[in-house]
A and B are shown apart, each in its own frame.
Chain A
Amino acid sequence: MSTTTPDLGYATHLSCRECGAVTELGPFYACLECFGPLEVAYDYPGVTRKQIEAGPPSIWRYRELLPVPADVQARPNTDPGYTRLIRADNLARELGVKTLWIKDDSANPTHSFKDRVVAVALAAARELGFTVLACPSTGNLANAVAAAAARAGIGAYVLIPDDLEQPKIVTSAVYGPTLVAVEGTYDDVNRLASELAGQHEDWAFVNVNVRPYYAEGSKTLGFEVAEQLGWRLPEQVVIPVASGAQLVKVDKAFGEFTKLGLADGGEPRIFGAQATGCAPVSAAFRDGLEVVAPVRPNTIAKSLAIGNPADGPYVLDVVRRTGGAVADVTDEEIVAGIRQLARTEGIFAETAGGVTVAVLAKLLRDGVLDPAAETVIFNTGDGLKTLDAVAGVVGPVGTIRPTTDAFAELIDGGIS
């Protein structure tokens, strides 16, 4: 491990989100006092819109607000982010909402939002003296870690549940990491990773022992939405919830932009989306609880199948503080959501995106979301990664001989 002081930009220390105890910047992730999660604290300089607009078309345009060195762009990384924000008028019309935008994060280098967090984790891990990148993953993170390690020219150990979708296995393995399939659920894989992190001190398990830095990468989703709306915050957002970190960090991003005077608008109402087959946070919200009871996941939305979500309590805090909610939808609704988004907007989302669209529809139906309010939803991954979800329900209308008559018979019922 490095003995010199890491250059993590304007980050000053780590502080416990539970008890507030302060820890120096380093490869620490759990509070020594209470096991609570550690959060990066900063002493920001003044940041202007002009400065950000002059930056690169990637998450590094917000580097002053991330725990990375000023010259972060000088070292090989995946440079993700600045993905498109699409105005979704067709879907808005079908669902009866006035103004709807989709933040389409399938456009990242490995086709999910995980490139954002991994890029920040890689930059911080180098400063902290780690020499190997590693992770337990439900698939998207595995892709991102394997690709980032390849770009960086360092080794990678990637642990996945053995029942993962085949495309996510292939799209991890192709980058050449040491890929290990583990019998059990994601929560079992995560436990193994935590134990391995205690044994291999030069391995950066991006979402375990460098998690405080890693998680900061999700703030860039919120920064980009505000910048792309013309330096304005949306009125309500719907975000998928697995560990819950993304939702919590997007809220943090909106708060930082407001504090720095970079974005106009009031505090957005934040809504969380889960699959009914793994809805521990939604259940806690519905039951008015402050703690999240773990569940055993059973859903096609495997990228959201975290039964014991570490940031669950903070998701509850955020949605309650902002006037949002958490809701869940069935696997059938998820498939319908994927198809509706593809059919109306030409965006093919992975199952997590289907969850988000279906929860959007449900919350509008139930009168929980305001149909007159400007709304942003997050598509966090590419549908090509979860083809099985829709492979059985979409396909050709028929197979014909290569003749115009055959075509006419199929399409027009023989009337040409």
Chain B
Amino acid sequence: MSTVQVRVPTILRTYTGGEADVTVSVGDDATLGDVVRELDASFPGIGPRVLDDAGKLRRFVNVYVDDDDVRFADGLGTKTPDGAKVSIIPAVAGG
């Protein structure tokens, strides 16, 4: 088993009892998809906020595994090794 830390954005903290940082336990070869599934098991309802009906990352969610935007990696297939830090952030930008 490995432990992954997840940073939860303000708008999802109603699911985590106000916690900004939570940890989930996943298998050794886990991916981001596994982390989201485990997150939803611990905090029911959080999964569908992050994933759309087709099970893909929502268009306006940015997810980082450590320092990498998963859209530059393998999306939900991005590996999340033991100790990885996952950050979920609403997509906003403007110079």
Interface of A toward B, CB cutoff 8 Å = 18, 28-37, 114, 117, 137-141, 186-188, 190-191, 194-195, 197-199, 207-208, 211, 214-215, 242-243, 245, 291, 293-294, 296, 303-306, 308-311, 313
Known: A199-B20, A293-B71. A30 touches B94 (CB 8 A): no
A35 and B94 contacting across the interface, CB-CB below 8 Å: no
A29 and B94 contacting across the interface, CB-CB below 8 Å: no
- Please give, as numbers and ranges, the residues of chain B lying within 8 Å of A245 by CB-CB distance: 94
- Please give, as numbers and ranges, the residues of chain B lying within 8 Å of A139 by CB-CB distance: 95
B32 to chain A, nearest CB (A): 16
Known: A293-B71, A294-B72. A140 touches B61 (CB 8 A): no
A187 and B59 contacting across the interface, CB-CB below 8 Å: no
Chain A CB within 10 Å — which of B49, B58, B61, B93 has the most?
A: B93
- Please give, as numbers and ranges, the residues of chain A lying within 8 Å of B61 by CB-CB distance: 35
A194 and B90 contacting across the interface, CB-CB below 8 Å: yes
B92 and A37 contacting across the interface, CB-CB below 8 Å: yes
- Please give, as numbers and ranges, the residues of chain A lying within 8 Å of B9 by CB-CB distance: 30, 194, 198
**Is B40 among interface residues, defined by CB-CB distance under 8 A?**
no
Query: 8 shortest A-B CB distances, which residue pairs?
Result: A30-B90, A138-B95, A207-B94, A243-B94, A35-B60, A310-B93, A242-B95, A243-B93
Measured CA separation A245–B60 after assembly (Å) = 15
**Is B42 among interface residues, defined by CB-CB distance under 8 A?**
no
Measured CA separation A214–B91 after assembly (Å) = 16
Q: Which single residue of chain A is at the shortest CB-CB distance from B64? A: A191
- Please give, as numbers and ranges, the residues of chain B lying within 8 Å of A214 by CB-CB distance: 94
A294 and B20 contacting across the interface, CB-CB below 8 Å: no
Chain A CB within 10 Å — which of B49, B62, B89, B92 has the most?
A: B92
Known: A207-B94, A310-B92. A18 touches B60 (CB 8 A): yes
Q: Which single residue of chain B is at the shortest CB-CB distance from A290? A: B59
A220 to chain B, nearest CB (A): 16
Measured CA separation A197–B10 after assembly (Å) = 9
Known: A35-B58, A37-B60, A195-B7. A137 touches B95 (CB 8 A): yes
**Is B31 among interface residues, defined by CB-CB distance under 8 A?**
no
Q: Which single residue of chain B is at the shortest CB-CB distance from A35? A: B60
- Please give, as numbers and ranges, the residues of chain A lying within 8 Å of B52 by CB-CB distance: 34
Measured CA separation A21–B50 after assembly (Å) = 16
A310 and B94 contacting across the interface, CB-CB below 8 Å: yes
Tell me which residues from 33 to 49 in chain B have a Cβ below 8 Å from any Cβ of chain A: 49
**Is B1 among interface residues, defined by CB-CB distance under 8 A?**
no
- Please give, as numbers and ranges, the residues of chain B lying within 8 Å of A306 by CB-CB distance: 93-95
**Is B3 among interface residues, defined by CB-CB distance under 8 A?**
no
B92 and A29 contacting across the interface, CB-CB below 8 Å: yes
- Please give, as numbers and ranges, the residues of chain A lying within 8 Å of B11 by CB-CB distance: 28, 30, 32, 35
Q: Which single residue of chain B is at the shortest CB-CB distance from A310? A: B93
**Is B16 among interface residues, defined by CB-CB distance under 8 A?**
no
Chain B CB within 10 Å — which of A35, A137, A138, A191 has the most?
A: A35
Measured CA separation A294–B50 after assembly (Å) = 19
- Please give, as numbers and ranges, the residues of chain A lying within 8 Å of B60 by CB-CB distance: 18, 30-31, 34-37, 310
A246 to chain B, nearest CB (A): 9
Measured CA separation A226–B9 after assembly (Å) = 40
A-B contact pairs, 10 of them (CB 8 A): A30-B90, A33-B49, A36-B60, A141-B95, A187-B69, A243-B93, A243-B94, A245-B94, A303-B95, A308-B93
- Please give, as numbers and ranges, the residues of chain B lying within 8 Å of A291 by CB-CB distance: 59
Chain A CB within 10 Å — which of B11, B69, B91, B94 has the most?
A: B94
Measured CA separation A186–B69 after assembly (Å) = 13
Measured CA separation A311–B95 after assembly (Å) = 12
